[in-house]
Amino acid sequence: MSPRIRPSAAPTAVVADDERLMRDQIVGRLKEAWPELLIVGEAGNGREAVAMVQSMEPDIVFLDISMPEMDGIQAARALAGQAHVVFVTAHDEYAIRAFEHGAVDYVLKPAEPARLALTCQRLRERLEQVPDTMDDLLAQLSQRLGSSGLAPREYMRWVQASVGATLRMIPTSDILFFRAEDKYTRVQTQRFEALIRKPIKELIDELDPDEFWQIHRAILVRVDAVEQVSRDFRGRQIVHVKGSGEKLEVSRSFGHRFKQM
């Protein structure tokens, strides 16, 4: 496919991220920062992104670095020179240096309005140029991410939950614990509680195991939210949660979490 320069036409973009919530957030904030930009497609993995860009020929593609089937680095290689690329990542420790001198930009999750506005400004200027093939940049990223070229695992950082009749985006850093209750999972913060339909067994795979510990088949607690652990009259371990009067029972199979008790 030959390179394209279309500065006179309304700019178009494809957004690719396997997290629906993050994809919706990026799309929404792009519309605020750059109303003229047309989002012509949304992809949930790298292969979808490549196929979408090749069929729709957008000017710009936003690629989450960590996606299933084909990650953002692999997708960018497949699309070299076909569109201006913006990488989306939760890992600023390797991203910033790699991008600061390149013709490709990056956005950190969650997308901050001011940073995304700067990205849009840079993209407006780059639309006057042929898309970069990114050979050197992709080589740098692959080296930073290891010989496999795969990005580090990105864990859930936000939860979309029902609070009454509204939906809220709750940072995982605000969550004290998750607790299975009937058909829902309760999400507890210091200020309020909310409900989600995602079961504990799925949350275990999506949350950072260094941030959240499972202490019961129905309970996940944020490690930093544990104030103390005591024993009741039956000898069971009980977790006392900071900022909450809640006391969470530790089942026997997870008692090793608190070996000193």
pLDDT tens for 137-171 read 676 666 655 534 445 556 788 888 877 777 788 99
pLDDT band at 252 (very low <50, low <70, confident <90, very high): confident
Mean pLDDT of the chain: 83
Q: How much is the pLDDT for 152?
A: 53
Q: What is the DSSP string of 59-115?
A: SEEEEESS-SSS-HHHHHHHTTTTSEEEEEES-HHHHHHHHTTSS-EEEESSPPHHH
Average of per-residue pLDDT across 77-88: 88
Whether 7 contacts 128, CB under 8 Å = yes
Q: How many CB atoms lie within 10 A of CB 121?
A: 13
Q: What is the pLDDT of residue 93?
A: 55
pLDDT-based confidence at residue 261 (cuts at 50, 70, 90): very low
C-alpha span between 126 and 118 (Å, rounded): 13
pLDDT of residue 140: 66
Residues 235 and 7: their CA atoms lie apart, in Å, by 71
Nearest to 107 by CA among 124, 94, 89: 89
Q: What percent of the chain has pLDDT over 90?
A: 38
pTM comes to 0.57
pLDDT in tens, 201-241: 889 888 888 899 999 999 999 999 999 998 888 888 999 99
Question: Comparing 121 with 164, which gets the higher pLDDT?
Answer: 121
Upstream peptide bond of 7 is cis (omega within 30 degrees of 0): no
